[in-house]
Amino acid sequence: MSTAYDLARDFLRENDPARLDPLDFLRARFDAGLAWVQYPPGLGGLGLPRAEQPAVDQVFEAAGAPGNNPRRIGIGLGMAAPTILRHGTDEQRRRWLRPLWTGEEVWCQLFSEPGAGSDLAGLATRAVRDGDGWVVDGQKVWTSMAHEARWAILIARTDPAVPKHRGLTYFVLDMTAPGIDVRPLRQITGEAEFNEVFITGVRIPDSHRLGEVGDGWAVAQTTLMNERVSIGGQAVPREGSTIGIVAGLWRERPELRSPGLHDALLRLWVEAEAARLTGVRLRQQLAAGQPGPEGSASKLVFARLNQEISALELDLLGEEGLRHDEWVMRRPAMVDFAGRAAGYRYLRAKGNSIEGGTSEILRNIVAERVLGLPPEQRADKDVAWKDLPK
């Protein structure tokens, strides 16, 4: 059998990206199995090893082929797609994976709530069975892309009479359905990249349920493990992240240098390179199966490094680095660290230790599931959710 690289070259000979409409090109690429080669045939893949995907991407990039803007649809690509692939029905996979990958349909994540962030299993959003569907009421918060999303991955409580982890069910929610109210949350940067979402009497057909009733926590683990890999284990070249911005500043502005800052830059450069190489190893392990708790360690390191590196950039620039003149409440479609001012990077990096799992929770995961330390005592483990103090 030809390699994915050869198949990509053959595809380009028959599908000229300069002549085809970008969306038609992306659809054809998906149908040819060259979207994510590790997925099954018919679902954008060829059933080949994940390791062949970078060569395919390089062939398309060299040909000037249109991309699917992965930063804009990152929640769909990194979280929804692997969950749908693993837990969805054949019909669900056929319906959602293609427009997700082509970028025709944007996804968001409805997990966290005002009273259930770090303790996600304590969430209160209810889904009540009603005929051949469910009626959902509740509130979600810190929802990226909710203002642009067509679909959402949602966890709701379907049985309050059992312990909190066992009474959850996982759904796909139509964000255009009546009863959904998306409101902006203004951040320290002045922007409203996140949202709070109010869900009032929204009906979800049972055909939009992923996994069995009551198995929502297990399904959500697939999402969360993939989320942490997608945040902390992204493929970047050397100096391809924020450390490259600061290293470039050091080279271009010699008047900013001092011995103490030089030592700090060297330390962070080495740590960033170690984290990058660890990410390479993590993706190699991912190619062999489902992501494990190691992704939590990568995301934990990513958050700390991004905050320390952005702080070093401000130390280098002094008062110049404190300027932040973009206080307009924009509604950005994506986070852009590279194309913004130093003040923005410093402020936005503060959220890195909260989003995608707080650093405190990730330390618990690493301690228990990677290092094998005794688990934290949980007094509410066997108590019905309805009997827990609210």
Return the active site residues: 227
Neighbouring residues of 230: CB distance < 8 A, sequence distance ≥ 6? 74, 77, 78, 79
44: region left, alpha or beta (phi > 0 left; psi from -120 to 50 alpha): left
Whole-angstrom distance, CA of residue 276 vs CA of residue 306 = 13
Amino acid at 60: F
Whole-angstrom distance, CA of residue 33 vs CA of residue 28 = 9
Q: What is the Cα 301 distance to its own chain's centre?
A: 16
Whole-angstrom distance, CA of residue 339 vs CA of residue 234 = 18
Total residue length of the chain: 390
Whole-angstrom distance, CA of residue 152 vs CA of residue 60 = 30
Name the residue with tokens 């979600």.
140
- What are the CA-CA distances from residue 382 to residues 119, 179, 223, 388, 390 (Å)? 15, 34, 24, 10, 16
Whole-angstrom distance, CA of residue 99 vs CA of residue 319 = 46
Whole-angstrom distance, CA of residue 338 vs CA of residue 164 = 41
